[in-house]
Amino acid sequence: MVEVNPDVVPDRGIWFRVESSSAASAVRRAAERLGDQLRLGDTRTADLAIVAAELTSNLVKHADEGSLLLRPVRSDGQAGVELVAVDTGPGMADLTVSSRDGHSTTGTLGIGLGAIVRQASWSDGYSRTGRGTVFAVQVWPTTAPPPSWADGITRPLSGEPVSGDAYAVRVLEGRHQVLVCDGLGHGPLASAASDAALIAFRSAPAASPAVVVQHLHRSMSHTRGAALAVAELDPEAGMLRYAGLGNISASVAVEGGRRRGLVSLPGIAGHQRPTVREYDYPFEPGASLVMHSDGVVDRWSLDDYPGLASRAPTVVAATLLRDAGVRRDDACVLVARSWS
């Protein structure tokens, strides 16, 4: 994480390292500016400022290696603000109890969570004693939309202002599809390659993952290229369809810690003529799809995190990124599951 201009927060967000009260002030001011830009309104922007101040204050006082992601969130024509606080501190045995007003546990992030939950439109989190806490909150101008069936987290290489990794989620003509992309290299040129993939994904036809990947490949010839993968979830058929190029890792994780890896073929989207092949996999009720770039070590297991699989995809992705992400590379984790 580096110093960035917080006056304009990109959709991928801005990460802050929160170690002092000065960082807490910077987060609060950036959150207020973002709230103004997204037209939350004076009342909700003031609520957002309280949420940002409480989250960062907790990180400064009680957490180890605290960091916070600030980013816009959008749904059905409206926009809100999301903050994701991540730490490797002492953690909490019961996050629900710690989130109640008036509850205080010395040495944990529990202090102030009640005020955060009260002011936020939506919140969710995960904590384990001795492992730290991830807490996500959203502030919307009106009622918060239902949590998304899929979401992700990206983080740039230490020392870079932008990440070359990206993800996207879409529902088009009944097809629920997700994309994870890793632009070659790092910095602005890698980010530009991923941006091209995101634009192409959003405009791609409602077709199978293999067809979508071919569309992305043709749309990225002007960039340095990227590794990428597209997955389509079809819970009614108990099926997941997947097509990938390059070093994007993907697994279907089920209860009991079992994982089934998905196959990506060698190649670079946007360069030469890669072979694109689509594979079908069983996707049973309760399963989760986890996709990530090579900035995340592929040795994680949801079995190491009791109860995490039931949390919001944002929280699952942030937890895995915290523990399995590497600082010498851009990193991205996306989590998707069946929807109700």
- Burial environment of residue 118 by CB neighbours within 10 A (0 to 12, 13 to 18, 19 or more): middle
CB count, 10 Å around CB of 194? 31
What count of residues does the chain have?
340
CATH class of 150-337: alpha beta
Pairing state between β 165-172 and 150-155: unpaired
Q: pLDDT value at position 182?
A: 97
Mean pLDDT, residues 304-318 taken together: 94
Report residue 230's pLDDT band, with 50, 70 and 90 as the boundaries. Answer: very high
Each residue's pLDDT tens digit, 56-97: 988 888 777 789 999 999 998 899 999 999 998 878 766 664
Please report which helix (H) or strand (E) contains residue 182, including its range: strand 175-183
Each residue's pLDDT tens digit, 132-184: 999 999 999 999 999 899 999 999 998 888 999 999 999 999 999 999 999 99
Alpha-carbon span 290 to 336, nearest angstrom: 7
Each residue's pLDDT tens digit, 113-122: 788 989 999 9
Domain segments of the chain: what residues? 14-139, 150-337
Q: pLDDT value at position 255?
A: 73
pLDDT at 8 exceeding the cut of 70: no
Instruction: Select the more confidently predicted residue: 160 or 32.
Output: 32
Q: pLDDT value at position 94?
A: 61
Q: pLDDT value at position 164?
A: 95
Q: pLDDT value at position 107?
A: 43
Q: What percent of the chain has pLDDT over 70?
A: 91
Alpha-carbon span 100 to 335, nearest angstrom: 28
Largest CA distance in the chain: 61
Mean pLDDT, residues 301-308 taken together: 91
pLDDT at 272 exceeding the cut of 60: yes
What value does the mean pLDDT of the chain take?
A: 90
Alpha-carbon span 245 to 105, nearest angstrom: 47
Q: Write down the architecture of domain 14-139 according to CATH.
A: 2-Layer Sandwich (3.30)
Report residue 99's pLDDT band, with 50, 70 and 90 as the boundaries. Answer: low
Mean pLDDT, residues 44-67 taken together: 89
What's the token pair of residue 228?
Answer: 């990428």
pLDDT at 108 exceeding the cut of 60: no
